[in-house]
Amino acid sequence: MATLPFTVTTSNKLQIDEEEESMEDIRTMQAWAVDISNSKYIATMLKWLKQSGLESDTLSHLKRIRKRDSISTLLLSVSSSVPVLPTNIDIGDPYQISVPCNPALTQTALILKNTLWPTVYAPRRKWEPEKWSIAKVQWARDAINHILRNTAETASSDELPVVAYVPKPFEDEALLSRSFTAKDTRISTGHPLRHAAMNIIRNVADWRAQTTPADLLSDPLKPATSSSNGSLGISGTSCNGVNYLLTGLTLFITHEPCIMCSMALLHSRVKEVFYIVPMPRTGGCGGSACLPALKGVNHRYSIAHWRQKEGSAPAHLDEQIDA
């Protein structure tokens, strides 16, 4: 297909796939699983999983069943809410575990990842790019156009022209049923931490916190709240990690996030970040530093610089400003 309208951060700055050669480098995400002690229920649960809408490409690089001794464990989903399981089958309660984010590209990575969960071995050439369909590129372009329209609206205000946007995922809308937009509000609020990226994380958090137990039971793909755990019979231990706010999601932002925002995005387990305007002095996604490429961080996300024609790009900030 034609040249992509963005450039992914090169491997010399962000070696995600090739670096997964030690346990501390394995990228993980939280997924729901359930133990099945009686093997006769495995086929029934696999059939139910396909019909439930929980199955998605997000876990396609992992085996669905893990067998240890006499216990089989079924991988369910990465939804932020507790999956509502069939009540007529004698199985355990769902709980969260850490599983690899990507397939294994090397034999070493395969051995390491299999200690967490049985993983698909899919070696590829280092120069082989990620495949982007025309539809997915258009999804990203629509998101870029959205933040450009919103940043243009800030021209009539005193706010900094930084806008962040988290759309519904291209392939797995179960991860987020609506989109979020946030602007930089440091000036109007008089608060130095009200960056666009921080505001959008807060917006997602507030939205997830508003979910009631009744909502959860009527829609198993909506996020769970701590207050609903008791009514579902799920312990606090089982829900560990449920508050990772951006797991599997993409952030589009007009200006490269600063170091604070880049770390907040890392802690939120964002999947990837697209920005338009680089911030060489203050950026945390390759400008002054590249946070997800640091040794020892417990999550890594992809970074892409969207190439926008001059004249249609967002307003440039002073190079000393943290976006």
Of residues 184 and 175, which shows the higher confidence score? 184
| Residues 178 and 232 both lie in one domain | yes
Note the pLDDT tens digit of each residue in 211-270. 644 443 334 334 333 333 333 333 333 333 345 789 889 999 999 999 999 999 999 999
Strand partners, 164: 182, 253
| Residues 148 and 236 both lie in one domain | yes
What CATH number corresponds to the domain at position 141? 3.40.140.10
| Residues 155 and 245 both lie in one domain | yes
Which of 114, 149, 181 terminates a domain? The answer is: 114
Inside any domain, residue 1: no
Other Cβ atoms closer than 10 A to 265? 30
Rg (alpha carbons) of the chain, rounded to whole number: 21
Domain enclosing residue 93, as ranges? 28-114
Given a cut of 50, is residue 311 above it in pLDDT? yes
Inside any domain, residue 42: yes
User: Chain centroid to CA 197: how far?
Assistant: 14
Inside any domain, residue 166: yes
| Residues 164 and 302 both lie in one domain | yes
User: What's the total number of domains in the chain?
Assistant: 2
Name residue, tokens 């990842």.
113
Quote the Cα angle for 281-147-305, to 5°.
Answer: 45
Note the pLDDT tens digit of each residue in 59-104. 889 999 999 888 999 999 988 788 889 888 888 899 999 999 888 8
| Residues 221 and 137 both lie in one domain | yes
Inside any domain, residue 96: yes
